[in-house]
């Protein structure tokens, strides 16, 4: 009799969980979705909103769902590891096993799918330097030019790939072109080169500068990445002569018409993808552009609306 009571209790409990939309892990699809986003200065936000057909949200918070949360790349990643009902987006270069990266329009977020152009949320990683006549001295300018050349070598491509982005095709090594940059043969240990802009590119930029400094007279790389909008602004824009000026800035999106800059001072270093992430307990595995626009605009507010 006691055994029968236990079996009935277990059956009723399981039935209750099913009715509430709970999974075995306790995840409940009836819960509201917590929406995470970047701020309007972010190139990742511009690429994401544009990629899901929600262009008006690239620079306007008022069109987003009520209660959205603004965090940076690392902040969104860390939040989704603990927030079972959160959704956000990050750079493919930042994705790790602590969260679930969703397929987008039926295609998995991966380097091969970025290379073969089947993953739609793809975007360029770009750089911009100061104008050629706007350096404190020739040494700083020539180190910057050498760094840009290094990014385009197979040595630079290996570093970019190791950091999770998709490097551009290259055939030259740094040793092939080092003699074209005599500044790297001198002692530059008292020279500080300042890097900034996109925080999605920060990890790659730090790895590149760390590897290149010993090859170029041990200059001192200084990184301060505060968003794609600051990449141009602090090299050739309104803050180029301010306390936060930079020698090289990065943008994880195409440069805007207002950021055209001096000819020959901008270029691309890699491709990347934007990945939609959810908690590992989330049942969802794939999402469409329309789903995401509905979530971020507030037309869809619970997970069960996506799972039906």
Distance CA 190, CA 188 (A): 5
pLDDT reading at 9 higher than 50: no
Query: What was the pLDDT predicted at 17?
Result: 44
Query: What was the pLDDT predicted at 71?
Result: 92
Q: What is the mean pLDDT of the chain?
A: 91
Other C-beta atoms within 10 Å of 308: how many? 6
Single out the residue of 294, 278, 296 nearest to residue 286, CA to CA.
278
What pLDDT, in 10s, does the model give residues 110-151?
988 998 989 999 889 999 999 999 999 999 999 999 999 999
25 band by pLDDT with thresholds 50, 70 and 90: low
41 band by pLDDT with thresholds 50, 70 and 90: confident
Mean pLDDT over 69-86 rounds to 94
Single out the residue of 251, 206, 258, 202 nearest to residue 229, CA to CA.
251
Query: What was the pLDDT predicted at 91?
Result: 87
What pLDDT, in 10s, does the model give residues 197-252?
998 899 999 999 999 999 999 999 999 999 999 999 999 999 999 999 999 999 99
153 Cβ partners below 8 Å, 6+ apart? Answer: 170, 172, 173, 174, 176, 177
pLDDT reading at 58 higher than 80: yes
Query: What was the pLDDT predicted at 10?
Result: 43
């Amino acid at each position: 009799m006691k055994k029968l009571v236990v079996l009935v209790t277990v059956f009723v409990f399981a039935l209750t969980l099913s009715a509430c939309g709970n999974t075995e892990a306790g995840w409940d699809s009836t819960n509201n979705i917590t929406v995470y986003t970047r701020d309007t200065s972010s190139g990742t936000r511009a690429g994401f909103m544009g990629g899901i057909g929600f262009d008006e949200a690239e620079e306007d918070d008022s069109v987003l769902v009520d209660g959205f949360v603004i965090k940076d790349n690392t902040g969104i990643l860390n939040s989704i590891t603990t927030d079972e009902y959160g959704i956000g987006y990050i750079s493919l270069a930042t994705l790790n096993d602590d969260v679930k990266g969703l397929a987008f329009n039926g295609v998995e977020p991966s380097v091969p799918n970025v290379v073969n152009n089947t993953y739609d949320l793809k975007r360029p990683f770009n750089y911009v330097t100061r104008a050629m006549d706007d350096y404190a001295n020739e040494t700083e300018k020539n180190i910057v030019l050498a760094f840009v050349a290094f990014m385009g070598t197979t040595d630079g491509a290996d570093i970019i790939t190791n950091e999770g982005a998709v490097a551009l095709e290259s055939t030259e090594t740094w040793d092939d072109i080092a003699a074209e940059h005599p500044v790297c043969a001198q002692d530059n240990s008292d020279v500080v080169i300042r890097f900034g802009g996109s925080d999605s590119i920060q990890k790659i930029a730090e790895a590149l500068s760390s590897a290149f400094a010993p090859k170029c007279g041990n200059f001192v790389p200084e990184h301060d990445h505060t968003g794609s909008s600051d990449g141009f602004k602090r090299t050739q824009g309104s803050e180029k002569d301010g306390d936060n000026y930079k020698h090289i800035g990065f943008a994880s999106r195409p440069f805007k018409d207002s950021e055209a800059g001096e000819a020959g001072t901008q270029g691309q270093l890699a491709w990347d993808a934007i990945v939609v992430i959810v908690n590992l307990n989330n049942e969802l595995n794939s999402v469409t552009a329309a789903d995401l626009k509905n979530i971020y605009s507030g037309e869809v507010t619970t997970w069960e609306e996506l799972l039906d």
